[in-house]
Every structure is written in structure tokens, then in C-alpha cells.
Amino acid sequence: MPILTLTTDIGQRDYLVGAIKGQFLSIDSSFVINDITHYLSQTNFPQAAYICGNAFKYYPPGSFHLVLINLYETPPKQFLVARYKQQVIICPDNGILTMITGEVPKEIMAIPVKGQNTLLELTQLIAESIVINSTDKSIKFKGATPKPIVERYPLRPTIGPNWMEGQILFIDSFENVIINITKEEFELNKNSRKFKIFFRRNEAFEEISMNYTDVPGTEKLAWFNSAGYLELALRNGNMAGLFGLQVFNEQMQQGRAAMENKWFYQTIRIMFE
């Protein structure tokens, strides 16, 4: 049975998600359709890439992942279908593909889009581009060679001889704060040195915990989460809210960093001793 995941910024308060599922089930009723999230920020591509990349890798090889984010920033000209690490990603050509993969995938094709289209007209076009082998249910797409694609890439930590600086990548539903520094990057630069992770001017973590049970009931902790990223948390509390930590799009919405539409990230600095 073919597996399709849906990841979008359209929410679930109306009929659209159900309608999209119906379009694909009308192509083949054996589709197994899973929701990853429908609450992506329209403008926070790094956050979307974090969610997609860390969910997709757990699906069986050959799964299909439809990502719909910020479709109408500019009129869509083509959708991309790319095979990457045994997964197939279908998404608009607006930079989200390379934000997820970190590179231009070697296997990539396009579904051309003509004229102005509603969301459901676009998803119907994608659904109708699917060709399903009736024998083994393998899937191919009717597509074309892509035109030069839009490329955007995740921000990487900046590194000095005795410091690292990362950006707040994501704040989860418990208001734990995820930083764009992986365990591998941290250990490589730490190089057996002591460290301090500053999240406010005079407040810092000096230890890495294994999990939430390493600290008492209301203490703060730093640890590497299931995705391997540095996470700052407050056990049984609200780390982001208590310490005023925010990701870039929240600050833009509040008018604190809307200058010339530039992205603004709150940074976390690690000092090594």
C-alpha cells in the first residue's frame, strides 16, 4: 500500500485537508495517508525543515511526502518531485526542498503549473500526475525536467576558536527551545573543554543532561533531544515563556524585527574554556 504524508500550513479548521486526502484516495483507495502537521508557519522555512526532515526519515523506504507551505508568496510555476534518502518529497518550488535536504537532490523532476490555480486545483494536478503500477502498486510521476529551482538552505551555527553561536530553530508545544546545534557539532567543537551555554546575559548551563529526569521537578536543563539537536527546557515549566525566548517569525509578527523583511533570530552562545 502506498504511503503518503501531508505537511502543510493550512490548519484543520475547514474542509481543505479532508478534500486533499479525498483527491489522492480517488486516484487509489489503497493510499495510507498520514498527517505530520498542518500548522507550519508560512514563513518559517527552517522550522518546517526541522519538522519534515526529522519525521520523514522514520517512514518506510519509498514513502511519499507532500509538503505545502507558502504556496502563494509568488505564483507557483512548478512543483518538484525529488527522491532523497529513499523518500520521495513533493513540494512547491519555493526553496523548501533544499531547506529540508540541505542539497539539490540528484533525482528530481517537475510538475509544471500553468495559470492561476486554487490550492485544490494544484493538489488535483499533483494527484493526476501519479501513475500507479496495478501489479505491485509502485508509483511514478508524469513530469518533466525541472527548470532551475529555488534554493534556500538552513542557517548553520557560527564558530570561533573558543565559542559557538546558534539560533533558536523551533519552540515546541511545551515551550522547550530547540537550537540549530547538533550533538555532533557540539562535541567536535567542545573538544573535551568545559563550557557554558548562555541563554541570557548572566545565566548559563554548564552541564548536559541525558533527559528530563536528571533534574528536580522545576529545574532548567540542556540536553540533546531525539532529533540530536540542543534543547533548552524547564522541567514541568515553560522555558520560552519564562525567559522570553522566541523564534524569528514570532518576533516579526510582534513588530520587533520587521525591518526590510529580514529574518531575525535570537541567538544562543556557547563559550568553551
- The arithmetic mean of pLDDT across residues 38-53, rounded, is 93
Together in a domain, 124 and 174? no
- The arithmetic mean of pLDDT across residues 4-32, rounded, is 94
Residue the block writes with cell 485537508: 17
Domain boundary residue among 113, 141, 169? 141
**pLDDT of the residue at 248:** 60
Domains identified in the chain, total number: 2
pLDDT above 70 as % of the chain: 91
Domain boundary residue among 141, 168, 188? 141
**pLDDT of the residue at 186:** 96
Together in a domain, 180 and 136? no
- The arithmetic mean of pLDDT across residues 140-154, rounded, is 89
Kindly write down the DSSP assignment for every residue of 211-227, as one continuous string: SGGGS-TT-EEEEE-TT
8 Å CB contact between 53 and 40: no
Quick check: helix, strand or coil at residue 120?
A: helix
Together in a domain, 200 and 267? yes
- The arithmetic mean of pLDDT across residues 14-25, rounded, is 96
| pTM: predicted TM-score of the whole model, two decimal places | 0.86
Together in a domain, 12 and 94? yes
Together in a domain, 107 and 177? no
**What's the CATH code of the domain at 207?**
2.40.30.90
Asked if residue 151 is part of any domain, the answer here is: no
Say how many CA atoms lie within 13 Å of 174 toward its Cβ.
Answer: 10
Question: What range defines the domain where residue 241 resides?
Answer: 158-272
CA distance 220 to 174: 13
How high is the mean pLDDT of the chain?
Answer: 88
Tens of pLDDT, residue by residue over 109-121, are: 999 998 878 999 9
Tens of pLDDT, residue by residue over 189-225, are: 999 999 999 988 788 999 999 988 899 888 999 999 9
Together in a domain, 255 and 226? yes
Asked if residue 118 is part of any domain, the answer here is: yes
8 Å CB contact between 81 and 141: yes
Asked if residue 146 is part of any domain, the answer here is: no
Together in a domain, 9 and 98? yes
Task: Quote the longest CA-to-CA distance of the chain.
Answer: 64
pLDDT above 90 as % of the chain: 66
Asked if residue 150 is part of any domain, the answer here is: no
Asked if residue 172 is part of any domain, the answer here is: yes
Together in a domain, 131 and 33? yes
Q: How confident is the model at residue 250 (pLDDT cuts 50, 70, 90)?
A: very low
**pLDDT of the residue at 109:** 94
**What's the CATH code of the domain at 92?**
3.40.50.10790
CA distance 35 to 66: 10
Asked if residue 236 is part of any domain, the answer here is: yes
Residue the block writes with cell 548553520: 156
Together in a domain, 129 and 227? no
Together in a domain, 224 and 98? no
Q: Which three cell numbers stand for residue 224?
A: 540533546
CA distance 139 to 65: 13
Within 8 A by CB and 6+ apart from 160, the residues are: none
Together in a domain, 180 and 252? yes
| Residue scoring higher pLDDT (131 or 158) | 158
Asked if residue 100 is part of any domain, the answer here is: yes
CA distance 53 to 100: 6
CA distance 109 to 10: 25
* Res. 253: pLDDT tops 60: no
Q: Which three cell numbers stand for residue 45?
A: 522555512
**pLDDT of the residue at 261:** 40
Together in a domain, 8 and 136? yes
Asked if residue 33 is part of any domain, the answer here is: yes
Domain boundary residue among 141, 174, 205? 141
Select the highest-mean-pLDDT range: 43-47, 162-166, 234-238: 162-166
Kindly write down the DSSP assignment for every residue of 154-179, as one continuous string: ----EEETTEEEEEEEEE-TT--EEE
